[in-house]
Amino acid sequence: MGEDFQHDNPENWKWGMFYFNKNDSRLVVRKLHQTLGWTFNFAHPISYVVLILIILIPVLYTIFIKYV
C-alpha cells in the first residue's frame, strides 16, 4: 500500500470521521477504524465531485421516473 501519509495522525481527521490531508494524493483511504470501511480524502478536489454525483444521480433518476 506504500506510504500512509500520517493516516493515523488525529490532525488529519476532522471531527474524527472526515479525512483531510493535502499531502496525501489518494482519493479514497481507509477509515481510522478499518472495520468501518473507506472514506474520501476531502483535501482531494475530486472527492467533492464524486460525492455530488453520488447524491445527484439518484435524485435526478427519481425526478426523471416521476415525470416520464
**Contact predicate 8/32, CB 8 Å:** yes
Cell numbers standing for residue 61: 433518476
Kindly state the percentage of the chain with pLDDT values over 90.
68
12-39 pLDDT, tens digit per residue, is 999 988 999 999 999 999 998 888 899 9
pLDDT at 55: 97
Cell numbers standing for residue 38: 473507506
Angstrom distance (rounded) from CA 23 to CA 45: 13
Angstrom distance (rounded) from CA 44 to CA 26: 8
Domains of the chain, residue spans? 10-67
Alpha carbon 15 to chain centroid distance?
Answer: 14
